[in-house]
Chain A
Amino acid sequence: MNLRKLYPVSFILLLLSFFTSELVAAPPEGYDFLSLNKAMKQSASEQKPMFLYFGRYGCSTCRKMHKEVFSDAGLNKELSEKFVLAYVDTESGNRIRLPNGERTTEMQFASRNRILGTPTFIYFSPDQKALFKKAGFQTIDTMGLYNDFVLEGHYKTSKLKEFLATK
């Protein structure tokens, strides 16, 4: 994947602060999804990779993944223990502050990053570089492979597509 396409996303890496004023949409149950700012801070301080989930309130594919994929105990354990989890509601008016100092909303953040549909997942390395973006339904197995690609450091030497071709 051409990481330049993820350039706009990369500037969240230095998020400074986050103001929340209402309920978040609906990340999957049984996971400790954080606001973007909290997740970025935690990822930086713990040197853990971050898993960013762009969702939408009422999104049917999100619901399907919650029931059929995120409900998997193994995936839950791996994501919860080895990643810092962040959730952005693509229609929310919740305010975030970007590294350039700008205050905007989660909805505006999603639109300027050209998130076309939900769910969309972006994986970040422990040093907070956007690695790849995946949109739409993903199976438990593919999620596991994405996790391996990041956790085992394959992203340092190969592209995701190349890595997946070996599996």
Chain B
Amino acid sequence: MSENMLEIDGLTHSYGDHTVLEKMSLRVPRGELVSIVGPSGCGKSTLLRCIAGLVRPTGGRVVLDGTAIDGVPDELAVVFQDYSRSLLPWLTVRDNVALPLRRRGGSRAERRAAAEEALTSVGLDGAGRKYPWQLSGGMQQRVSIARALAYRPSLLLMDEPFGSVDAQTREDLEDLVLRVHRDEGMTILLVTHDIDESVYVGDRVVVLGRDPGGVRAELPVHLPAPRDQTTTRAHPDFVSLRTEVSTLVRGAAAPTKTVVHE
């Protein structure tokens, strides 16, 4: 078995006549945190949904841990952008986190303990008995992250996870992802449309283009660890890298066909 956690080969997906992804290929080594960035309509979300097994691609294949994906893989968790719809409002925060653990067996007490532990690790100790709608948006997204962590996935997918929280909360959550990645060592794919974010959190930035969607560039990120919101963002390497990614994304957004976008 190769050291790649994820191998994507010739992935193609169309909705009717519209081809979103065309012959896209990507390798993700185990334990890497990959940022996927691109203009809107480049198929970022479709890519993630193909990996998650929620969408069956029209062509190509996705191999996870040596096995071609057919249906939702067991060892995978997703943090969706829309936490308010992804968390179940009729369950408490703790039950939301504990529910997916049912298939792993174990007693009710064990599941609850695991849920509390995950909540503590995202800074939400004591919030378990509340309902998601009693929490702020940032805290709800922390619950989503705790739910994914408690599930102990080997691959974590994040679909624009911080797209609907304010700037301060966003920075806190980015640091949370970095810490989780460092502590748990899981492989993470984070889709974002925020160029700074892609550079700040990623070990590698993958730039997607559109019409047709595919990988335009892959840039390794070598920034001094640990990363810090103030010093890292002021680092010359960060600045030049974000400029490079920005140029690539703009270039990728320039349509090769005549397409009208809002």
Q: Do A and B come from one complex?
A: no
